[in-house]
Structure 1
Amino acid sequence: MPCTPETTIFSKGTRTTKEVAYVTAGRLIQQYQQFCLSKGIDFIRIQSVRPHDDTTLFCSAGMQQYKPLFSDPSHSGTVANSQACLRMGDLDEIGDGTHLLHFTMLGLFSFREMTVGNAIDFWLEFLGTLGLVPDHVTIHPDRLVEWTPLYGARVPIVPDPECMWSDGSISGYCTEFYKDGVEIGNIVNPLGTLRETVMTIVESGYRPGNKEQGYVLRKLLRRIHKMGGTLDHPFFKEEVERQKRLRAKYLRLRDRHSDMSPDWWFDTHGIDLSDIRESMEE
């Protein structure tokens, strides 16, 4: 949830205007800190833009320092912070009213503790303390059925296939909050949630297949691959190779059977056209 003290200073402003903006931003950070502490959540305030690893020149997001914890199954807990950020990638878009070079990001990071529903409740409650209600939220179509009920009709829902987030090494689905056409925050569900789900299914004795539990497992393996992730398990490697073979087979046969239905492709050749077409769009 970004806190942007210079939002009102795109044009020339007086010293007083700048001071008021920073005081307002500081008050917002203080309110967020108090809200988190009231929930029993530890809070850290970081004003330096030094990066926490060597993937960026400056810190570009509040989650940067926590990246190792997302892939550490032994760690659980929740922490909140305010992190000064600098995003050089947005330099060409500065001044459009939605992008900032330097800003403070308010973050909440839960490792194997809070659910997506918990996070949605947390942010809507905090925004409520500010008298702020999002105009709408967006959800990726893949998560629309699962996540829409979590909002409980409190906010209008807009499907958005762009609701995916990645920093290059960590990726996942997200749901975003919008006010007056501007994204004011988002909730990310990292890919490692998917990895843990796959391993739970595998450890329960299931194998990838074309029916029931096996089909669900295969779809999840495919989803991890599509999102640029990986999994150190033979089933994942087999599924990646399988998708390559099916794609090559489809390309070889599609002109000859262009009028055949998706059911025919699946029943005759084991080719799920939705998966094949997604991979061809990547």
Structure 2
Amino acid sequence: MNLATADSTFREPTVQPAYLARLNDAQRQAVEHGAGQIAGPLLVIAGAGSGKTNTLAHRVAHLIVKGADPRRILLMTFSRRAASEMARRVERIAGEVLGRDAAVITDALTWAGTFHGIGARLLRDYALEIGLDPAFTIHDREDSADLMNLVRHELGFSKTEARFPTKGTCLAIYSRAVNAQAPLNEVLGSAFPWCAGWAEQLKELFAGYVEAKQAQNVLDYDDLLLYWAQMAAEPEIAAHLGGRFDHVLVDEYQDTNRLQASILMALKPDGAGLTVVGDDAQSIYSFRAAEVRNILD
């Protein structure tokens, strides 16, 4: 079986899938929301251990069973391992209806990954349109800290009598400012008050760090989101991006930050086809400027 025939064959199962019977009423409503069409936004809020991620996996599987093209489903989690596990769950659940063909269809669920991983792939596709070289290199945190330290030395900040923030602290401040989309002084005051006296030097350092990245055609993890957001802010690119995906689903939405929330809003400004799942009582990625207000608002 191929994807071209999957839509017509499995759009309307003749009996209710058995997997729906395993869900409680609230979970089943979330799974079936707008299935078979591109419905309005869905927000699922539930506590730890309540089956949020399982519900999301059932929803993805149900969308596919009802005819959604898996190539047009964007599924974002907060780790590669979580994305892989989600895909396995989707295949197992969908397989109850589609049998062996579930593997063929879920193999086409190629847009499942982390925000940063998806961002990297999209930036390769649209790099030239936003002035990037598509052959850019991605620095991990250690590489980024080393580059920050190099610029720190070049500017002479490591030689001052008073102790200047370490490379790791400098990178953390920079990263928080980018992800929170907040002024440096605000970030220093709220999260790094002991570094507030270095505000002007940090501004100079960060400007030098950005220049160094551009000179080396390097992107750090924060750039993957920053450039994605800038790309999505261009109306024509945003429309094309949003048009690539019928359904956008996000797990652990409470761990998104302001930058990630702006990306989602640009992808689906009217909320059509958007599903987010989260717990407004917990957020484990606060170091990335995650804001539980993204759920509460």
* TM-score normalised by the chain length of structure 1: 0.25
TM-score, normalised with respect to structure 2: 0.24
Q: From the two aligned structures, give the one with the greater helix fraction.
A: 2
Which protein is richer in strand relative to its size? 1
